[in-house]
Amino acid sequence: MISGILASAWHEAIPRRHSTRNYDERPVPDELLNGLTPLLSGFAPLCEGARAVIVADGTPKIFTGIIGSFGKITAPPPVALAFVADTSHPHYQVATGYLGEGIILQATYLGLATCWVSGGFSSAEAKSRVELEPSEKVMAMTPLGFAAPDETLGTKGIKAVTSAHKRKHLSSIVSGLPPKDWLPDCGEALEAARIAPSAMNRQPWRFDVDDKGVTISTFGLDLFPRAPVKLDCGIAMLHFEAVARANGLHGQWRMTDGASHVAEFIFADANP
């Protein structure tokens, strides 16, 4: 379970976070980097199987774009974060999304700009800068810095393709109990999960609400090995939990092992 202090900060950061692809050259001050350091090795049990590493050189070589310049960080800042997954862990994909989004929201809270990047970076360049155990790989990265004044120009191309900031309606991604029967604050936590970022903005998740908790399942095909849908689900789980916790709706995620069922958030006062 994440701490109340982090949950409040992330609750505030969620509506402000968006993907930034064009940065200026200002370095990240040490005091802001120090604000992220305690989170890099994890902040809750669900982070097990993932960690993050600060990369402070070579960012223009790392952020290459997917095909030509599509999905490219056009002007990367000097610092980035690498999200490292331990592929021997059964839930490493969810763990990477959950851990990475906690750090991204903390960066947002501190006033830094970010963008999840899983396709548009060079694995070889990242690998040469991050020490990895044999079972580990860099699954995704984010630039870390300050948005350039003309940032919107850099986002035009990708926005047209991904409809960034547009999301499916809650009614089309939630089943189970009708909203009038949800626990107080469950709706706001689901709303936070709804606006979570996902690769290509595909939102590959569905939620089912009953009186004991909320189940998250994957939706759609898992076509891109560099951006597994369970990583996106880990991001949405972090959003749900942060807002639930910030509002006093207690509970915790329990991983389920079904092919499409990912996890169940069990309310603390639910009868077993």
C-alpha distances in Å from residue 114, one per residue of 22, 166, 185, 224: 10, 18, 28, 22
Closer CB to ligand FMN, 174 or 235, in the complex:
235
Q: Which helix (H) or strand (E) holds 106?
A: helix 92-109
Radius of gyration over every alpha carbon of the chain, rounded to an integer in angstroms: 18
Longest dimension (CA), the chain: 54
Give min distance, CB of 96 to ligand FMN, in A.
9
Closer CB to ligand FMN, 138 or 183, in the complex:
138
Half-sphere exposure of 21 (CA within 13 A, CB side): 21
Residues 200-229, one symbol each (x = binds ligand FMN by CB under 6 A, - = not), give xx-------------------------x--
Q: Which of 106, 162, 217, 252 binds ligand FMN (CB under 6 A)?
A: 162
Closer CB to ligand FMN, 5 or 160, in the complex:
160
Give min distance, CB of 15 to ligand FMN, in A.
10
For residues 63 and 208, what is the distance between their CA atoms, to the nearest angstrom?
37
Residues 169-198, one symbol each (x = binds ligand FMN by CB under 6 A, - = not), give ----------------------------xx
Does residue 120 belong to the site contacting ligand FMN (CB under 6 A)?
yes
Q: Which of 1, 8, 12, 18 binds ligand FMN (CB under 6 A)?
A: 18
Question: Contact 3/43 with Cβ under 8 angstroms?
Answer: yes
CA dihedral (50, 29, 15, 94) in degrees, to 10, reads: 0
Give min distance, CB of 129 to ligand FMN, in A.
18
Q: For ligand FMN, which stretch binds (CB under 6 A), given 15-23, 29-37, 85-93, 259-267?
A: 15-23
Q: Which of 35, 71, 76, 143 binds ligand FMN (CB under 6 A)?
A: 71
Q: Which of 1, 40, 132, 164 binds ligand FMN (CB under 6 A)?
A: 164
For residues 216 and 214, what is the distance between their CA atoms, to the nearest angstrom?
7
Give min distance, CB of 126 to ligand FMN, in A.
13
Q: Which helix (H) or strand (E) holds 253?
A: strand 251-255
C-alpha distances in Å from residue 64, one per residue of 103, 119, 126, 128, 198: 23, 9, 11, 15, 19
Q: Which of 21, 51, 194, 230 binds ligand FMN (CB under 6 A)?
A: 21
Query: How do 79-86 and 136-144 pair as beta strands?
Result: antiparallel
Closer CB to ligand FMN, 209 or 243, in the complex:
243
CA dihedral (79, 13, 197, 101) in degrees, to 10, reads: 60
For residues 122 and 22, what is the distance between their CA atoms, to the nearest angstrom?
18
Give min distance, CB of 4 to ligand FMN, in A.
25
Does residue 231 belong to the site contacting ligand FMN (CB under 6 A)?
yes
- The residues of the shown chain that bind ligand FMN, judged by CB under 6 A, are 18-19, 21, 66, 71, 115-120, 140, 158, 162, 164-165, 197-201, 227, 231-232, 235
